[in-house]
Structure 1
Amino acid sequence: MTQEPTVPARGGPHRPTLRRHLGELLAAVVALAAMVAFTGYVRNPPAAEQERPEVRVDQAVLDRASRDNPCTRGRVMLTFDDGPDVHTPAVLEVLRAYGVQATFFVLGEKARAHPGLVAAEAADGHIVGNHSWDHPHLADLSAEAVRAQLSDTQAAVTAAGVPAPTLLRPPFGSTGPVVHDQAAALRLREVRWSIDTNDWRGRAAADIEAAVLARLRAGAVILLHDGSRESGNTVRALPGIIEGLRRQGFCTAPMET
């Protein structure tokens, strides 16, 4: 086999070698972009795979927190999905400081991994709901698979010493007749949300807060996350959300079971 020259041929640069190198570089860039996109899409890996530091709540914020919860304009519900996880203790700490009760829609695999956090949620007066075992599109599954996703999560919650959930929030809002039937068989009521903060996308805390306060109305159900990779920003946004909604005359309450 004839080896390609390593120096340019007379009369101009060695174009085949340059084109090959450029092609290899382009392929590497495309592969890296695909890997980054895939990593961003998988927002809820199992708890054991999520290695990130817990956010510490500013003690000055907690010290000034007021538990006054006026209700001149009606109630709104704070809800948290995809936990329990590393940021759940900080969320609970903020809610406790402000005297807020919320609703946590837990994943079964994380509830099994962190039963103490599920118990802590219930002990603080929060509602614990079912968010499936590992966050699939439930509408794409068979009846048997949906039943396993829901019943296994029920079992993980009760194993933590907490009453079986009566509320189900299907991941992605993915539902249909099969999901309805399986939920009803387990005495689960399906619930959704009215304000999506998109906090799991990595939005800044100020943007998460603004997304809530700009759309408040009586009966609003606010979707937040305590179990995504970006939930540290949710923790940072939470005091401003609570203070802001109360300034507007709204009080907080867990969802009705």
Structure 2
Amino acid sequence: MTLRIPLLSPDPHAPFPPAACALRQPDGLLAMGGDLHPRRLLNAYRHGIFPWYSAGEPILWWSPDPRLVFRTDGVRLSSRFRRTLRRSGWQIRADTAFDAVIAACAASPRRGQHGTWITPAMRAAYAALHRLGHAHSVEVYDGERLVGGIYGVAIGRMFFGESMFSAESGGSKAALAGLAHLLHGWGWPLIDAQVESPHLLTLGAQRMPRARFLAEIDRLCAGAAEPAPWRDRVGVLPVSVLAGTASGS
């Protein structure tokens, strides 16, 4: 059977098809083509759509149903890991190593995947969003060595997570918990985690029907503040504070 997938206009200002038109199989495939221009990317995220494709493929745009999300007060860390955090000298910072974080995410092996979907074009596109103040990274440092991180796109009071990595055991979990801690303190209730995985579910991610997700982000993205770097806003946060803020198991 041939799938009929809408082809996007070359104009980065052109609208996307409604997310409700996405395919059931493969879940969430909505459109193809277009480009990764910052305006198109921001428009996509505002409407619950994200790019996900492999090298050699056309750009594919997705909006799965249900959507996986984290409540910023609902990241779950094991009791053992929280004890480790209490004794740790690691630190959380933001927007101090965006390029290094996305490069590490691209290089991290993923179970069941060959290669990476974070292609050079994707890296360049999100680096451009970062320079414009829309894309951000949260880093975990051991001294001055980067041991974990996460990056994504912020619009209004909504954070759309893209990928995370660990260079040391627990680095990505600390980055996720650190991001959630910061966002919860700012009054941002959700982190988009896009596609379900067993690992994310163990960390407290929840399934949300797409219609509800779209309604939530429409509200949270409204009245977006002027984009700006997070480096000075976050400063340096000891990971030990996360031991008391993340949910336990």
TM over 0.5: no
TM-score (norm. length: structure 1) = 0.27
Structure number having the greater strand percentage: 2
Structure number having the greater helix percentage: 1
